Amino acid sequence: PYAGPVESKNEAAMSELVPEPRQKPVVPMKPMGINTNLLGYIGIDTIIEQMRKKTMKTGFDFNIMVVGQSGLGKSTLVNTLFKSQVSRKSSGWNREEKIPKTVEIKAIGHVIEEGGVKMKLTVIDTPGFGDQINNENCWEPIEKYINEQYEKFLKEEVNIARKKRIPDTRVHCCLYFISPTGHSLRPLDLEFMKHLSKVVNIIPVIAKADTMTLEEKTEFKQRVRKELEVNGIEFYPQKEFDEDLEDKTENDKIRQESMPFAVVGSDKEYQVNGKRVLGRKTPWGIIEVENLTHCEFALLRDFVIRTHLQDLKEVTHNIHYETYRAKRLNDNGGLPPMTVETEENHESNL
């Protein structure tokens, strides 16, 4: 008998059991670098230049707050940082007018220009902080001031007809001046930084560091770092905001070695080896402010202005302000806070 059809049935059964060979997944092609020599010059490399020109026209805002006891050289240090007379003392405000009952916050604005770049600098001074016999809750006016600036920005932002460029009065950086005791931090220092590190970028600074020996200075810096860590106080640059490995490596070095910066401020010039230098004159010589073997002022200036100024602004906007904004909208049931204009309209409609 003819067995052809039987074999073909068996083959059909076998073909059902054997799965079809899977197709290999398509590997996406790597993006090819276009050879511009063939196509000619396009001009994408001018984007940076376009951005530079745009920002040069608008200028920059930077708001720095100084906090600490009287006599720690806050005004002098800010003048030294920006090589300009930018503190309250140089703006005709008489400190001896009256002893403030609480912290009297004073904001002084200046426009500084260097190499065609304009920066609107605002120095926020807090005279009278920690000077009273009873310093209970004396950080509250400062916290209130910082939050008021966030509120002001938020109200401008939620306006229907809002400004093209919202004036930025938010505090980007708070220099907290620590007294060079060589001992532990005062409970007031810890309380202040604990409350305010959540709403502003705090940079701790040991003032008048020339009053300590090198050994005392190293030991005091380590003690301050340890106390801040034990009390769970985050200072700028905060660990969780490091964006990549390069940032982490750079910021870890600052956190573990430089912080808190032991500085000396002076806006007086002296002649040293034929050069004019900013310094403090003592019976045994001149302490040069910008000499790294004398103090860490140059490190602080480079950190605040030359490497981290833009990041201070971004952390303020993306972290501190966003936290405030989210909380404010959440408390308001998801609705933006009423602005003055909308309140007036609301009243006129009633």
Over residues 310-318, mean pLDDT: 93
Q: Which is higher by pLDDT, 128 or 316? A: 316
pLDDT of residue 76: 85
For the record, the structure tokens of 190 come out as: 């810890």
Asked if residue 105 lies in contact with residue 125, where contact means CB atoms within 8 angstroms, the answer is yes
Over residues 182-210, mean pLDDT: 90
Q: CA 11, CA 116: separation in Å to the nearest integer?
A: 85
214 Rama class: left (phi>0) / alpha (psi -120 to 50) / beta:
alpha
Give domain status of residue 245, yes or no: yes
For the record, the structure tokens of 337 come out as: 């806070």
Looking at the DSSP bridge assignments, the partners of residue 65 are 124, 174
Q: Which residues contact 117 (CB under 8 A, 6 or more apart)?
A: 56, 59, 60
Peptide bond into 237 cis (omega under 30): yes
Q: Which is higher by pLDDT, 87 or 196? A: 196
Residue 294 is part of which domain span?
A: 58-332
Q: CA 242, CA 323: separation in Å to the nearest integer?
A: 18
**What number of other Cβ atoms are within 10 A of residue 114's Cβ?**
10
Give domain status of residue 43, yes or no: no
pLDDT of residue 224: 93
Question: Is the pLDDT reported for residue 88 higher than 70?
Answer: no
Q: Which of 289-298, 301-310, 322-331 comes out lowest in average pLDDT?
A: 289-298
Give domain status of residue 8, yes or no: no
Q: Which is higher by pLDDT, 150 or 182? A: 150
Q: Which is higher by pLDDT, 131 or 202? A: 202
Give domain status of residue 44, yes or no: no
pLDDT of residue 204: 93
Give domain status of residue 344, yes or no: no
| Torsion over CA: 51, 57, 58, 59 (sign) | positive
Q: Which is higher by pLDDT, 133 or 64? A: 64
Q: Which is higher by pLDDT, 51 or 341? A: 51
pLDDT of residue 132: 77
Mean pLDDT of the chain: 80
Task: Place 170 in a pLDDT band, splitting at 50, 70 and 90.
Answer: very high
Give domain status of residue 1, yes or no: no
Radius of gyration of the CA atoms of the chain, in A: 30
Task: Place 147 in a pLDDT band, splitting at 50, 70 and 90.
Answer: very high
Task: Place 99 in a pLDDT band, splitting at 50, 70 and 90.
Answer: very low
Question: Is the pLDDT reported for residue 15 higher than 60?
Answer: no
Question: Is the pLDDT reported for residue 102 higher than 80?
Answer: no
Q: Which of 86-95, 97-106, 115-124 comes out lowest in average pLDDT?
A: 86-95
pLDDT of residue 206: 92
Over residues 55-75, mean pLDDT: 86
Give domain status of residue 348, yes or no: no
Asked if residue 142 lies in contact with residue 129, where contact means CB atoms within 8 angstroms, the answer is yes
Question: Is the pLDDT reported for residue 4 higher than 60?
Answer: no
Q: Which residues contact 155 (CB under 8 A, 6 or more apart)?
A: 337, 339, 340
How many alpha carbons lie under 13 Å from residue 186 in its C-beta half-sphere? 16
pLDDT of residue 222: 92
Give domain status of residue 46, yes or no: no
How many structural domains does the chain have? 1
Residue 181 is part of a domain; what is its CATH number? 3.40.50.300
3-state SS of the chain is CCCHHHHHHHHHHHHHHCCCCCCCCCCCCCCCCCCHHHHCCCCHHHHHHHHHHHHHHHCEEEEEEEECCCCCCHHHHHHHHHCCCCCHHHHCCCHHHCCCCCCCCEEEEEEEEECCEEEEEEEEECCCCCCCCCCCCCCHHHHHHHHHHHHHHHHHHCCCCCCCCCCCCCCCEEEEEECCCCCCCCHHHHHHHHHHCCCCCEEEEECCHHHCCHHHHHHHHHHHHHHHHHCCCCCCCCHHHCCCHHHHHHHHHHHHHHCCEECCCCCCEEEECCEEEEEEEECCEEEECCCCCCCCHHHHHHHHHHHCHHHHHHHHHHHHHHHHHHHHHHHCCCCCCCCHHHHHHHHHHC
Q: Tell me the pLDDT tens digit for each residue of 229-251.
A: 999 998 998 888 877 788 888 88
Looking at the DSSP bridge assignments, the partners of residue 107 are 124
Q: Which is higher by pLDDT, 134 or 72? A: 72
Q: Which is higher by pLDDT, 20 or 72? A: 72
Asked if residue 76 lies in contact with residue 87, where contact means CB atoms within 8 angstroms, the answer is yes
- Residues above pLDDT 90, as percent of the chain: 25
The pTM of this model reads: 0.78
pLDDT of residue 55: 80
Q: Tell me the pLDDT tens digit for each residue of 255-294.
A: 888 889 998 888 788 888 888 888 888 888 888 888 788 8
Q: CA 233, CA 255: separation in Å to the nearest integer?
A: 13
